[in-house]
Amino acid sequence: MIRVAVQREPIDLAAEIAAAEGEGAGAVATFTGLVRADDGVGMLELEHYPGGTEAALTRVAEAAAARWSLLGATIVHRVGPMTPGERIVFVAAAAPHRGDALAACAYLIDRLKTDAPFWKRETRGGEAQWVDAKDSDDAAAAKWD
């Protein structure tokens, strides 16, 4: 089963992991991304394209399911204002064996960073600034091509 959510509410790790484990898999690999306080970031705000972002995330999850033997793939991404330490993204891949689960989990996070429309704005010392895409994200996604 593929589950994609874009939400303002905090990510409930226990519920998300329990759902992934409920797929009947032999392995579940997960990744949780947190808002970093790099260089004094006090707040991170994410905007998205409603409908389009969910569709892009679904395509990423479907591509992972086509590439590996998965029983489930989950992507949950926050939008709105967040402070350092808050969960911003959660991905899970459930598979019969760990190799597929681990590879698919890495693929999910690498591809969503470049394939889904999100816009980031960081606030440092009271000044907000939009964040440009990173070349390192493009390189991580490209290795799956």
Residue 116 backbone dihedrals phi, psi, to 5 degrees: -110, 140
Check residue 39 and give its pLDDT. 80
**What is residue 3's predicted lDDT score, i.e. its pLDDT?**
97
pLDDT of 28 = 97
Residues 35-74: pLDDT tens digits?
A: 998 888 999 999 999 999 999 999 999 999 999 999 999 9
Q: Give the pLDDT of residue 100.
A: 98
Q: Give pLDDT, residue 107.
A: 98
CA-nearest of 77, 85, 4, 92 to 46 is 77
Write down the pTM of the prediction: 0.94
What is the model's pLDDT at position 60?
98
- Diameter of the chain by CA atoms? 48
Whether 79 contacts 10, CB under 8 Å:
no
Q: What kind and span of H or E run contains 129?
A: strand 127-130
d(CA 75, CA 5): 6
Low-confidence ranges of the chain (pLDDT < 70): none
What mean pLDDT is reported for the chain? 95
Domains of the chain: 2-142 (3.90.1170.40)
Helix orientation angle between 98-115 and 52-67, rounded to the nearest 10 degrees: 150
What does the block give as tokens for 110?
């690498």
